[in-house]
Amino acid sequence: MRSADEKDRRMLEIEEAAYALLSEVGCKATSMLAIAKRAKASNETLYRWYGNKQGLFARMVERNAEASIKALETALQSGRPIGDVLDELGPALLQLVVGERAVALNRAAAGDVHDSGQLGRLIAEGGRARVEKLLAQVLGRYESLTCPAETIAASYLDLLIGDIQVRRIIGAADIPDESWIRERSDRAKRIAVLLMETGMQAPRARG
């Protein structure tokens, strides 16, 4: 019987194989059998652990977003100041969406849009939608908000991400350096806090 650590390590290897195939052949041609062969695993193991290809992709999306989700879940429990929460969330989330794994998933989803479209839905539901919902819950703790927490959460994410993820997906931008990520995160935080305090409309984000 595998230990939990051994199983998690093996799952990481399987998911890395899936990322490689997504980059090489796209979503439709990335079958469970092809992933199993690439990872030197049995097809039966993949189906036992993930259920099906959609389950595997859902786990990949979930694992990719884990750091951001955990930061928000911790914030809900701890009652930390919103500035501290955004100081941690912003850079982590930006690094996630511009990273090679997120780019590979989104490129594959774009190629799948005229087939099943399932990968795109998994990314939307397990990525931004989940982060936005949790962030709105964190913001909702503040009784002095001058506009709905959902509006602030959506505006913050728009300001934080802008079009950098799209430009990464189409190959028009390299991975930003740490100073760019920190500056972008700080700007989004300042405007989000201003929106919390005044209710003024957030400006449109630029890349």
Q: Indicate the burial class of 89 (C-beta count within 10 angstroms; 0-12, 13-18, 19 or more).
A: buried
> Do 17 and 97 reside in the same domain of the chain?
no
Is residue 67 predicted with pLDDT exceeding 90? no
Render pLDDT for 78-104 as a digit per residue (tens, 0 to 9).
878 888 889 989 998 999 899 988 888
Residue type, 15: E
CATH number for the domain including 38?
1.10.10.60
Specify if 109 maps to a domain. Answer: yes
Is residue 61 predicted with pLDDT exceeding 80? yes
> Do 41 and 123 reside in the same domain of the chain?
no
Taking each helix axis from N to C end, the angle separating 53-64 and 66-78, rounded to the nearest 10 degrees, works out to 60
Residue 115: the pLDDT is: 65
Nearest CA to 152 among 89, 122, 195, 102? 195
> Do 84 and 127 reside in the same domain of the chain?
yes
Long-range CB contacts (< 8 A, 24+ apart) of 174-181? 175/98, 175/99, 175/100, 176/94, 176/98, 178/91, 181/90, 181/91, 181/94, 181/95
pTM: 0.80
> Do 175 and 86 reside in the same domain of the chain?
yes
Residue 22: the pLDDT is: 87
103 three-state secondary structure = helix
Between the two ends of the chain, the Cα-to-Cα distance in Å is 49
> Do 46 and 74 reside in the same domain of the chain?
no
Residue 1: the pLDDT is: 55
CATH number for the domain including 140?
1.10.357.10
> Do 159 and 134 reside in the same domain of the chain?
yes
Domain span at residue 191 reads 61-198
> Do 168 and 69 reside in the same domain of the chain?
yes
- Average pLDDT value over all residues in the chain: 87
198/88: higher pLDDT:
88
CB 131 within 8 A of CB 68: yes
C-alpha–C-alpha distance, residues 170 and 57, integer Å: 21
Q: How many structural domains compose the chain?
A: 2
> Do 31 and 76 reside in the same domain of the chain?
no
57/146: higher pLDDT:
57
Render pLDDT for 157-174 as a digit per residue (tens, 0 to 9).
999 999 999 999 999 999
> Do 75 and 47 reside in the same domain of the chain?
no
Tokens 């190629």 correspond to 111
